[in-house]
Amino acid sequence: MARDVVIEQYSYASLVSEAMTRERHPNCSSKSSRSGDFSFSQTKSIEEAEEFAIRGWDLGLKEYVIEDGLLVSGSTELHASLAGSLPHVQNHIMGFPQEMYQLYDTREYNLPTLDIVVNLAYSASQNSKDALNFGKSLVSYINAMASKRNIRLTGVFASKQNNVDAYQFITLKDFDSALVINNIAFAFHPSFFRRLWFSILEGKEYFSWGYGSPIWKYKDVVEKELKGSKSDETIYFKILNDISKYDWGVEDLDDVTL
């Protein structure tokens, strides 16, 4: 019997918003997005996850330490903002609403295009520290490539639910857009998956007990979704459960991609 396929498109901001405001569906009796402990998600609560997602997760200053510095390629600009990843002390003292800095990467345009697609879901048995280590390596790779390529980064949650194959696509960075580093870094934090995405699922009619199971072979569906805007190159990363090396570099790319 053929399974239905559900495809939903999100921006980074719209996923965070729905995760915090959705009503739990009557089909769902689970509350792991709210009740999960720190060891499972690396945050104390879903409110803390929202705080990291919107106002900044230290830009990895504590967890995403890159050897060559603070995740820059070309040059990084500081823009005063209502939300961001570093505090704007002077504006805070003066009472201005733009109390935070957003960090944006600048680069040349008209560069060759590169689609990077990452499956953000993994099974419950996967250690959250592995996800953090994989995310650090991926952010470092994106950082290195951003000065050479016009990058679109798409995160995918691909899971088998009740009689449904569900795909949530999250545009983390579009072509010709600024590289907002916190959005990319936090997308690979376990809380983006185990709190925010869990919360999204808890509001769906097709919710499956245990939050479903990962879809390993997600590439064909994604290729159909991306066919409208061909890029010069597309890279698909393996699901975390299917790789053995979470700390990797450019030389290891064949080991972690499809």
Sequence spans of domains, the chain: 4-71+110-256
Q: Where are the beta strands (DSSP E) in the chain?
A: 4-11, 75-81, 86-87, 100-106, 113-119, 150-161, 164-173, 179-180, 213-214, 233-236
Q: What is the pLDDT of residue 74?
A: 41
Q: What is the maximum span of the chain, computed from C-alpha positions, in angstroms?
A: 64
The 10 Å CB-count burial string (b at 16+, else e) for 186-225 is bbbbbbbbbbbbbbbbbbbebbbeebbebbeebbebbeee
Is 50 exceeded by the pLDDT of residue 116?
yes
Question: Cα(133)–Cα(214) distance, rounded to whole angstroms?
Answer: 20
Distances 20 to 178, 196, 202 between C-alpha atoms, Å: 25, 8, 11
Q: Model confidence over 172-208: pLDDT tens digits? A: 888 888 767 677 778 878 899 999 999 999 999 999 9
Q: What is the pLDDT of residue 20?
A: 96
Question: Cα(103)–Cα(84) distance, rounded to whole angstroms?
Answer: 7
Q: Model confidence over 204-228: pLDDT tens digits? A: 999 998 898 888 888 888 888 776 5
Q: Model confidence over 135-164: pLDDT tens digits? A: 778 878 887 887 788 888 999 999 999 889
Q: Model confidence over 70-99: pLDDT tens digits? A: 343 344 555 666 666 556 556 666 677 666
Other beta carbons less than 10 A from residue 120's beta carbon:
23
Tokens of 117: 């697609």
- Alpha-carbon torsion 215, 217, 219, 224, what sign? negative
Tokens of 39: 């060891």
Strand, helix or coil at 215?
coil
Q: Provide the pLDDT confidence category of residue 101 given band limits of 50, 70 and 90.
A: low
Q: What is the pLDDT of residue 17?
A: 94
Share of the chain above pLDDT 70, in %: 77
Q: At how many degrees (to 10) do helices 12-21 and 46-55 cross?
A: 150
Q: What is the pLDDT of residue 61?
A: 44
- Among 27-36, 146-155, 165-174, the range scoring the smallest mean pLDDT is 146-155
Question: Cα(61)–Cα(43) distance, rounded to whole angstroms?
Answer: 16
- In this prediction the pTM is 0.77
Q: Model confidence over 45-54: pLDDT tens digits? A: 999 999 988 8
Is 90 exceeded by the pLDDT of residue 31?
yes
Share of the chain above pLDDT 90, in %: 30
Is 60 exceeded by the pLDDT of residue 69?
no
